[in-house]
Amino acid sequence: MNRLGRAIGGILCAALFVSGCSEYVEIPRSELDTAPDRDDGYRVTLTDGTHYTALKFTTNEEVLVITKLSPQDPQYRKVPLPMVILWSDVESVSEYHKHQGWAAAIAAATFVVIFFVASLVNNG
């Protein structure tokens, strides 16, 4: 494979990793009372831009109460718990969704394009 083929392959592989195959999906406030505990937690985003990864929380009409943070959260063991946050200070509560099927499809398409371009370059 020549330089052009390697360059195109590198660009496509970089695009695969940059595009990502997962996302945070916001949970409507009305559904938070029934949200199950998650091993990877929930992302709580405050209006000032602060993020917390909450493993456990409770809610009522006025506040969201974080009772357990993820050990991967930068604020773990730095903030006192329970953490009571007014709803007016909460921008969103989201859960992490992995799209493994999309990852496989994107990877397969990337390699097909790489080999197609390589064959054109080598035969032309």
Together in a domain, 12 and 51: no
More confident residue, 10 or 21: 10
Which of left, alpha, beta for 54 (phi over 0: left; psi -120 to 50: alpha)? beta
> Which pLDDT does position 25 carry in this prediction?
82
Say whether pLDDT at 33 is over 60.
yes
Together in a domain, 53 and 111: no
Domain housing 103: 1-21+99-124
> Please, which pLDDT band fits residue 14 given cuts at 50, 70 and 90?
low
* Selection from 23, 108, 16, 73 nearest residue 57 by Cα: 73
Q: Whole-model pTM?
A: 0.61
Concatenating the DSSP letter of every residue in 13-80 gives: HHHHHHH-SEEEEEPPGGGGGGPPP-TT-EEEEETTS-EEEEEEEEE-SSEEEEEEE-TTSTTTTTS-
What's the total number of domains in the chain?
Answer: 2
Together in a domain, 47 and 90: yes
Together in a domain, 39 and 88: yes
Residues 45, 117 contacting (CB under 8 angstroms): no
Together in a domain, 38 and 92: yes
